Structure formats: structure tokens, C-alpha cells
């Protein structure tokens, strides 16, 4: 639950326009597609479950009008502060037609603890790490720059990457790297990490991994990529949170995920994921809900929506993005 000081509520004053990389520091992935599938209704209530730098949120807010309500969630206090500034500057002409905005410091797994049941018209979740987090060496997410072994999306989180790397049993570490990073060389890498302890920086960890992982044929990514991914997902409990949002399997009582509980009948869920583990959870949950009796979801995307060539060229991060959408029955 978020403390009172973590709840940032405001009605935004007049300011600049939306949509540019200059304003948000990043390019929102699959922006048009996400907004189209949300089918934003003027005066409605919508949740951006992964606020980030508010690129998607700003586009939603433009369509809501003064009677609308936008609720944003993020674990990252740094992102919340930047999003607050971005959302306080509506486009010219919308000063008197800007929705009420509520920003909450909380995981999207906790949405049902903050939002009344059956009260939301649409929910968007853009899963995974943000460009702001990845590009800041002090956050410890990237092996491309020297930084502390942190990797916490929530700076107040208890578990850090340094604790995992330096204190986890070798077998458990190998399992984390294999399960969450889908790294076939997990045992070899875990053994090398344990022998190199203590490890205190991202660059040091990347060197240890690179030395241990014999390059695979035609490998196009850095040898540390999957290990860093696995540790990051474990540190932030990312898959558990996603399960709690969409399926409810990790968040008793099992009344469906948080999204199903807060959405109105006819409300829309849109999820953008970036790797197979996330996409599989969303796909399986929606399929199960579409086949269940009573039916929970009507699927809008038989196959995941992906970025076109123009978007991939403009924003390479979008290459691996997959969007799935459904309507609550």
C-alpha cells in the first residue's frame, strides 16, 4: 500500500504538447495501437499501470476531457516525479479540458488495493524496464556502463542485484539465470560468478559472465544480456507481479487478476510485453479466460500486434514488443 506522501494528485495547468522524444525522453512503444485498442471514452476512468515517463498516459489524457480520470502506477519514485512534471503540461487549448490525474507509488500488482472494483474503463500495462532506468548507470541495470549492482525498479525495494550475485547459493543462482533469463549456459555462468565473489559493479559482473560464456554461433547479443535480464526479473519479482495483474495466481484470493477485478464489464485490457516469458503469461491468461465458464475475456488480438518497419527504425526497442488486448465480459 502506498503511504500518503507517495500519492501525487493534481490537476494539470496549461503547457506544451505531446508526442515528442524531447518531451518525454523516450518514444512510447506501439502508442497508436495501444490507444486504438483502449478505445478511450471521454469522461471515463483509465489506468496506466506502468507509468514510466508518461508517454502513453499523456496520449490517454488528451482524449479524456475534464470529466475523465487518469490513474498512473509505478514502483519507481524517480519516474513518478518526472511523469508528474510531464502531465502537468497539457497541450495548448486543453487547459480547461484536462482530466483529473492521480499518480500512485505502487506496483501494478496492487492495483485492486487502490482502485474500487468494476470502476475502470480501460487499463494499459507496458511491461518491463524503461529506457530511463536502463540508461542511468547509477541504477545498475546495464552492463554497458560502470554502475552499482542495484537493478531495483523501486529504489526502496529490499532485494538488490548485489545481494543476489554475492549471497545466493550457486544452484539457486543458476536456476534464476536459467528460468528468468532463459540462458542455456546458466550453470557455467553461476559457477564463475560464485568463484569471482565479491562482485560489486555491473562492469565487473559483465566481465565475469563474458569470460565464462563461450560465444554461441552467430550470437548477436552481448553474452551478459540474458543473465542481467534474469537477475533483474528476479530482483523485481516482475513475473509474480504480472501474474497478480492478469491471472491472480500469485495473489490470493483467486478471483482473477487485479485487472479483471477493477475493470468494468466491457472495460479493456491492453498489455505490451518484451520477451517470451511475459507474453506467455498474458496469452495463456486471456485464452483461459476466453474459454472459461462463465467467460471472462473476449480476445481482441488473435495474434500479438507488433511494431511496423517505420517504428522499429525510429525506435529499435519496439522490435521485440508484443501487444495483446481483450475486453472484460
Write the pLDDT tens digit of every residue in 168-182: 999 999 999 999 999
Looking at residue 218, what is its pLDDT?
67
In the chain, CATH 3.40.50.150 covers 4-132+238-328
CB atoms within 10 A of CB 168: 18
In the chain, CATH 1.10.150.170 covers 137-236
- In the three-class reduction of DSSP (H, G, I as helix; E, B as strand; rest coil), residue 148 is classed as strand
Report the candidate in 98, 74, 78 with the shortest Cα–Cα distance to residue 88: 98
Cα R_g (the chain), whole angstroms: 20
Overall fold of domain 137-236: DNA polymerase; domain 1 (1.10.150)
Predicted TM-score of the model (pTM): 0.89
3-state SS record for 151-198: CCCCCCCCCCHHHHHHHCCHHHHHHHHHHHHCCCCHHHHHHHHHHHCC
Phi and psi for 218 in degrees, rounded to 5? 55, 30
- In the three-class reduction of DSSP (H, G, I as helix; E, B as strand; rest coil), residue 103 is classed as strand
- Contact yes or no for 115/102 (Cβ under 8 A): no
Q: How far is the C-alpha of 82 from the C-alpha of 89, rounded, in Å?
A: 12
Report the candidate in 153, 190, 122, 174 with the shortest Cα–Cα distance to residue 328: 122
Encode the chain (329 residues) as per-residue pLDDT tens digits: 233 222 233 322 222 333 344 444 457 999 999 999 999 999 999 999 999 999 999 999 999 999 999 999 999 999 999 999 999 989 998 999 999 999 999 999 999 999 999 999 999 999 988 888 888 999 999 998 899 999 999 999 999 999 999 999 999 999 999 999 999 999 999 999 999 999 999 999 999 999 999 766 667 789 999 999 999 999 999 999 999 999 977 655 456 899 999 999 999 999 999 999 999 999 999 999 999 999 999 999 999 999 999 999 999 889 999 999 999 99
Q: Which CATH superfamily is domain 4-132+238-328 in?
A: Vaccinia Virus protein VP39 (3.40.50.150)
Pairing between strand 322-328 and 263-273? antiparallel
Distances (CA, A) of 260 to 254, 268, 294: 11, 9, 13
Amino acid at each position: 500500500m502506498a503511504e500518503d506522501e507517495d500519492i501525487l494528485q493534481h490537476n494539470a495547468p496549461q503547457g506544451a504538447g505531446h508526442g515528442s522524444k524531447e518531451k518525454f525522453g523516450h518514444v512510447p512503444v506501439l502508442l497508436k495501437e495501444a490507444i486504438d485498442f483502449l478505445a478511450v471514452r471521454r469522461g471515463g476512468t483509465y489506468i496506466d499501470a506502468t507509468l514510466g515517463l508518461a508517454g502513453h498516459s499523456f496520449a490517454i489524457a488528451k482524449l479524456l476531457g475534464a470529466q475523465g480520470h487518469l490513474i498512473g502506477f509505478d514502483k519507481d519514485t524517480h519516474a513518478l516525479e518526472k511523469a508528474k512534471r510531464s502531465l502537468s503540461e497539457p497541450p495548448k487549448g486543453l487547459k480547461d479540458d484536462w482530466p483529473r490525474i492521480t499518480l500512485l507509488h505502487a506496483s501494478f500488482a496492487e492495483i485492486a488495493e487502490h482502485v474500487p472494483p468494476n470502476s475502470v474503463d480501460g487499463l494499459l500495462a507496458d511491461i518491463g524496464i524503461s529506457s530511463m532506468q536502463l540508461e542511468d548507470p547509477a541504477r545498475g541495470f546495464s552492463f554497458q556502463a560502470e554502475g552499482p549492482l542495484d537493478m531495483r525498479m523501486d529504489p526502496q525495494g529490499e532485494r538488490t542485484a548485489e545481494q543476489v550475485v554475492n549471497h545466493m547459493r550457486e544452484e539457486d543462482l543458476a536456476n534464476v539465470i536459467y528460468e528468468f533469463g532463459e540462458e542455456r549456459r546458466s550453470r557455467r555462468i553461476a559457477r564463475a560468478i560464485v568463484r569471482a565473489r565479491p562482485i560489486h559493479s555491473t562492469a565487473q559482473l559483465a566481465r565475469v559472465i563474458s569470460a565464462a560464456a563461450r560465444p554461441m554461433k552467430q550470437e548477436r547479443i552481448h553474452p551478459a544480456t540474458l543473465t542481467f535480464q534474469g537477475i533483474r526479473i528476479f530482483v523485481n519479482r516482475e513475473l509474480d507481479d504480472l501474474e497478480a495483474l492478469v491471472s491472480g495466481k500469485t495473489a490470493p484470493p483467486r478471483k482473477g487478476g487485479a485487472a479483471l477485478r477493477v475493470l468494468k464489464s466491457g472495460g479493456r485490457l491492453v498489455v505490451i510485453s518484451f520477451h517470451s516469458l511475459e507474453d506467455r503469461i498474458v496469452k495463456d491468461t486471456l485464452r483461459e479466460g476466453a474459454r472459461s465458464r462463465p467467460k471472462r475475456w473476449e480476445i481482441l488480438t488473435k495474434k500479438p500486434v507488433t511494431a511496423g518497419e517505420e517504428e522499429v527504425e525510429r525506435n529499435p526497442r519496439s522490435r521485440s514488443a508484443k501487444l495483446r488486448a481483450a475486453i472484460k465480459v
